[in-house]
Amino acid sequence: MTGPCVYNVRDYGATGDGRTIDTRSIQACIDACASSGGGTVWVPSGVYLSGSLFLHSFITLHLDAGARLMGSADPAHYPIIHSRWEGVDRDTHAPLLGGSGLEHIAVTGRGIVDGQGEPWWNRYRDGNLNHPRPRLISFQDCQNVRIEGITACNSPSWTITPLRCENVTIDGVTINNPHDSPNTDGINPDSCRNVRIANCHIDVGDDCVTIKSGTEATGRSNLQPCENVTITNCTMLHGHGGVVIGSEMSGSVRNVVISNCVFDGTDRGIRFKSRRGRGGVVEDVRVSNIVMRDVLCPVTVNLFYAVGVWGNADVADRGMRTPTDDTPLFRRIHISQVTATGAKLAAGFVIGLPERPVEDFSLSDVAIVLAHEATAGFPEMADGLEAMERAGLYVCNVTGLRLHNVSVTASERPALFLSDTSGIDVFAFDASQSTGDGPVIRLHNVAGILVHHSGPTMRNGHPDHYFMIEGDRSGLTMVDHGYA
């Protein structure tokens, strides 16, 4: 690669031998490129051992095929900066690649960014950290950010984390972190606007993609929403969640579209999580054209998320509380055209808060096949849950629920359990292959439910036990029992 605006890191003393610390040489090349008004910093084939590097505006860092930028294992090579970690603004180690307050920056090429994360994972497991670990790539307060084509691996913690950035494109990136590496999320846009994630392959030890906007601990006046996010044409493997929103969502999350993705072996597929005290609003989320295989639970919404506060009575209490500004709100979430096979724990798990139910939630054209065998476990992280195994679809505390053309195959009964939910429209629900002696659909304390074109099924030549109705509020309107 040559040209008047191309700067070769070798010309500034970088050795690329995999032993010499090349931080100063690479940073000198970046600084020289910036001083001339910007351009491309070229990293040719070689192994470049480095600590934190900081881009400038109008810089493209291009890693050629055969180039490996490898993070140093020495914590001293990652200065302490003020950033955000797990929703709280605090001092952290700087990332391997970073920058703040920049515009028109890019990391591109066919090379590899390798965080050499194992020493950091061991320090974390041993409790031997004074500050949160480095992210692999993290830009904050930047505009017009592009990360394209590279492979990122072995991140010390989160892999790619834009914070308070606008106009972010992450395209054609491969992320590989070991399945047991702690907190090695793939892509975590945090309080960003106009984010496009496309054509990526993500195989990590935590959530594959998580959309965040900080927590109440940061202070509400300092929080910004994460909004206008598209995630498309991606494959996601082995993480705790495929695409996750929360639990750090106190600044709100809105206008999210997730489409044309494959989740293979993730614990959960589409996951929403929060709890009392977070505040914030998650709204206007559309999910479509998703294929899942061998997930624990394809869809979860959990407003009793307990990680970090296990046993906290305020979070765990299933009773009605008075809603406040600290009560999160989830609304207008619509999931369609999903096929999931081999689900192990449950077809779906949705639980809102009694004082602020999930509003306007729908599943349409969704087909879920449970695994033939599974070990009991918990579809979500909340106090007081019972272990599940090949369970159906569980929904609690929702106002405005639509289930259209949903099939749940080979689940234990009930295939659909609705509790403390109102404004329900169930159309063409198919659970004809559910197993066990209980009802196909169990209704507990529900109001305003319409079931149509949904049974009843037959078993051994006799009408099946289709409904169990219980609770003070429960009532049922059923029209046109058979399929149209």
* Backbone φ and ψ of 316, nearest 5°: -80, -20
Structural contact between residues 295 and 332, judged by C-beta atoms closer than 8 angstroms? no
How many whole angstroms separate alpha carbon 430 and alpha carbon 408? 6
C-alpha distances (whole Å) from 80 to each of 94, 134, 214, 389 are 6, 9, 20, 45
Residue 272 β-bridge partners: 245, 301
In our burial notation (b when 16+ CB lie closer than 10 A, e otherwise), range 174-211 reads: bbbbbeebbbbbbbbbbbbbbbebbbbbbbbbbbbbbb
Structural contact between residues 341 and 367, judged by C-beta atoms closer than 8 angstroms? no
Structural contact between residues 443 and 471, judged by C-beta atoms closer than 8 angstroms? yes
How many whole angstroms separate alpha carbon 199 and alpha carbon 382? 33
- Token readout for 129 is 């950290």
Structural contact between residues 282 and 252, judged by C-beta atoms closer than 8 angstroms? yes
State the amino acid at position 441 in one-letter form: I
* Alpha helix stretches (DSSP H) within 59-180: 118-125
Residues whose CB falls within 8 Å of the CB of residue 388, separated by 6 or more in sequence, listed in order: 345, 346, 349, 376, 377, 378, 379, 394
- Reported in sequence order, the residue ranges of 57-141 that DSSP labels E, i.e. its strands, are 59-63, 67-71, 80-85, 88-93, 97-100, 103-109, 112-114, 137-140
How many whole angstroms separate alpha carbon 379 and alpha carbon 349? 7
Gyration radius (Cα) of the chain, Å: 24
User: Which residue in 194, 89, 94 sits closest to 145, CA to CA?
Assistant: 194
Residue 284 known to be catalytic? no
Instruction: Tell me whether strands 166-171 and 59-63 are parallel, antiparallel or unpaired.
Output: unpaired
Give the active site residue among 185, 206, 267, 430: 206
Indicate if the alpha-carbon torsion angle 286, 290, 295, 297 is positive or negative: positive
User: Which residue in 5, 42, 2, 47 sits closest to 22, CA to CA?
Assistant: 47
With 0-12 / 13-18 / 19 or more C-beta atoms within 10 angstroms meaning exposed / middle / buried, residue 390 is buried
Enumerate the active-site residues: 206
